[in-house]
Amino acid sequence: MIPRHQTILFIVLLAASIVMGAVLWNLRERAHERLLKGEVSEPTQAPQVAPAEQATLMVANDADNTVTARVLTLPLPQNPEARARALLGKLFDLYAATDATHRVAGGASSVAQVFLVPIVKTNIHREDGDAGPSPASLANPTGQVLAVVNLTGGFVSTHPSGIETETLTILSICSTLHANFPDVTQVRFLVDGQQRPTLAGHADLTRTYLTEDTVPIAGAQP
Partner 1 sequence: MVVLDAAHGGDDAGAGLGNTPEKNYTLSLSVRLRSLLMARGFQVVTTREADATIEPDRRAEIANHAGAIACLSLHATESGSGVHIFVSSLAPAGTAQFLPWKTAQSAWVTRSLTLAGVLNSALQHAGVTVTLGRVGMPGLDSMTCPAVAVEIAPQRTPDSPGGESLEDFGAQARVAEALAAALVDWRSAGRGVRAP
Of 34-42, 83-91, 122-130, 197-205, which part binds partner 1 (CB under 8 A)?
197-205
Q: Which is nearer to partner 1, 132 or 201 (CB)?
A: 201
Length of the chain as a residue count:
222
Q: Which is nearer to partner 1, 82 or 100 (CB)?
A: 100
Minimum Å distance from CB 218 to partner 1? 8
Distinct helix (H) and strand (E) counts, the chain: 5, 6
Q: Which is nearer to partner 1, 80 or 216 (CB)?
A: 216
Quick one: the chain helix, strand, coil %, rounded to 5? Answer: 40, 20, 40
Closest CA to 184 of 119, 91, 121: 119
Q: Which is nearer to partner 1, 141 or 160 (CB)?
A: 160
* Sign of the alpha-carbon dihedral angle for 49, 178, 170, 156: negative
179 and 201 Cβ atoms separated by less than 8 Å: no
**Rounded Cα–Cα distance for residues 179 and 77 (Å):** 17
Site string for partner 1, 135-174 (x = CB under 8 A): -------------------------xxxxxx-x--x----
Residues near partner 1 (CB under 8 A):
62-65, 160-165, 167, 170, 197-198, 201-204, 206-207, 209, 213, 216-217, 219-222
